Amino acid sequence: MFLAIAILVAGPWQARAQSPVLKLPTAQEINSILKELSDITGFHIRKSLPFALITRDEVNRYISEQIKESVKPDEIRAEEITLKKFGFAPANFDLKKTTIDLLTEQAAAFYDFKRKKLFISDWATENMRDVALVHELAHALADQNFPIKRFLDKAGEDSESSLARQSVVEGQASWLMLEVAARRAGKSLADEATARRLLNADMDSPEEDYPVFNNAPLYLRRTLTFPYSDGGRFQQAVFLHDGTQAFARVFRDPPLSSAQVMHPERYFEKVGLDVPDLPKPARHAKPFVTGAMGELETRILLEQYGGAELADELGPKLKGATYRIDESKPDHRMTLVYASEWSDEESGSRYFDAYKKVLSGKWKRIEITDRSADRFSGKSDDGYFTVAHEGNRVLSEEGFAQPFEPSAPAEKNRVLAAVAR
C-alpha cells in the first residue's frame, strides 16, 4: 500500500445500521476505549487524542495528497507496470486512481500518524463507527508507545518486510477490536472457539456497499485485507505464545515476510526467505525495478490462474522468489526475469506446470514453439519468452524482442538475446 495512514477495511464483522451517524464521539467515550485498550496491552496512555468528522470528499482529497507527498510518480509507474507484467492487473488498469477510490470507499475512520489525530467519516453507520473507533484508537495507543510511522519506514524498499510490518500494525488493531467486542460480551480471544469464530471471518466476501472493492483485481483485494485478517491471526499466535508481552514484542521484533505472518512457527523459528540469483540484463538494457515475490503474492498468482486449492497446496512450499523488470534502449521494451525456489524438486516441477497456466491466462495470444520436460518457449502478444525448470528452481524470462533458440541452455539464450539487441 502507498499510504502511511491506518485505514479501517470494512469487514463482515460490521453489522449494518440504517441511518448514518453525523456526530462525534465524546471525549469521555474516547478515553474509556483507550483505557480498555491499555488494560489489555499494557501500553501507556501518554496524551489525549484530538478527533474530528470528515466527509467522503475530504477523505478522497486527503488520500490523494498523501500519495502525492509520499510516493514519487516513478514509483507508482513501476508498481503499475509490475502488476501488469505479472498479470495481476489488466493492461488498462490505473493503480493510482483505483487505490484512491478503494481507500476512500473503505475509510470508515483513520488515524493520521503525522498529525496524531483521529478522523471519523460522517457517512459511517453507528455500528461501523463503534468498530472503527476501537480499531483506530488501537493505532493511536500503539503510536504513543512505538511510533508507527518510524516502525513502517524501517522496512525501506523491501516489499516483504513492508507487508509484514503493515500486518503487525493492522493485525494488532484488528485483534484488539475483536477482543474488546468479545470482552464486552463476557468472552475473550483466549478462548479457542471464540478466536476461531471471530478471526476466521472472510473479509473478501462481496458486499454490495463496496463496488470498488468488489471490482478491484484479486491482487488488490488480497493485499488490502491481508494485514487485517492474516495479521490478526498472527497477533493471536504471538499472544498465545507470549501472553501480554506479545503486543510489544511484535513491534520490537517484527516478522520479516508474509510467510512468517501466515506461518507464525516460522516467525518463532526465524525462518527467512531465500533470494534466488537472477541473470544479468541483456545488452542495452538496464534494470527498471527489482523486488521479491513472497508467499502471499505467489498464492495470489496461483489462485488467479490455477484456483484457490492449488494456491493453498503449493504456496507454503515457496522458499523464496525474486524478479527484475529491465528496460531496453532505444525502444523502451520492458522484459521480465523471474526466478522462484521451492522446498523440493516436486514442488518446483508443480510450479513449472502451474506457470504455464499463468502465461496462458495473462496473455491474449500465446504460441509455444519449443517444449521439453523441463523447458518451454514461445511467443505471446508481450514478446518472446522461455521458462525453465531445474531442480527446485523455476526461471521465466518474458517479453523479449527476439526468439530464444530451441532447446538451447538458458545461459546461451541470454547471450543470444543480448546480441540480438
Same domain, 161 and 239: yes
Q: Are 130 and 14 in contact (CB under 8 A)?
A: no
Angle subtended at Cα 279 by Cα 338 and Cα 421, rounded to the nearest 5 degrees = 100
Query: Range of 392's domain?
Result: 285-420
226: its cell numbers: 491481508
The position carrying cell 460480551 is: 185
Model confidence pLDDT, tens digit, residues 145-198: 999 999 999 999 899 999 999 999 999 999 999 999 999 999 999 999 999 999
Over its C-alpha atoms, the chain yields an Rg (Å, rounded) of: 23
Q: Are strands 6-7 and 375-380 parallel, antiparallel or unpaired?
A: unpaired
User: What secondary structure letter does DSSP report for 72?
Assistant: -
Query: Are residue 49 and residue 134 in the same domain, yes or no?
Result: yes
What is the pTM for the complete model shown? 0.91
Whether residue 216 is contained in a domain is answered as: yes
User: Residue 193 is inside which H or E element, if any?
Assistant: helix 192-199
For 166-197, letters b (16+ CB in 10 Å) and e give bbbbbbbbbbbbbbbbbeeeebebeeeebbee
Q: What is the DSSP string of 166-212?
A: HHHHHHHHHHHHHHHHHHHTT--TTSHHHHHHHHT--TTS--TT-HH
* Residue 379 and residue 236 share a domain: no
Domain boundary among 268, 303, 336: 268
Distance CA 390, CA 371 (A): 14
- DSSP summary character for residue 125: B
Q: Same domain, yes or no, for 309 and 258?
A: no
Say if residue 233 is in the same domain as residue 293: no
Identify which of 324, 314, 340 has the alpha carbon closest to the alpha carbon of residue 395.
340
- pLDDT in tens for each of the 421 residues of the chain? 333 333 433 343 344 444 455 567 888 999 999 999 999 999 999 998 998 888 889 989 988 988 888 888 899 999 999 999 999 999 999 999 999 998 888 888 889 888 899 988 887 777 777 888 999 999 999 999 999 999 999 999 899 999 999 999 999 999 999 999 999 999 999 999 999 999 987 666 556 678 999 999 999 999 999 999 999 999 999 999 999 999 999 999 999 999 999 999 999 999 999 999 999 998 889 999 999 999 999 999 999 999 999 999 999 999 999 999 999 988 899 999 999 999 999 999 999 999 999 999 999 999 999 999 999 999 999 999 999 999 999 999 999 999 987 755 554 444 334 333 3
How many domains does the chain fold into? Answer: 2
Q: Quick one: 193 and 307 in the same domain? A: no
- Tell me how far apart the alpha carbons of residues 202 and 233 are, in angstroms, rounded to a whole number: 13
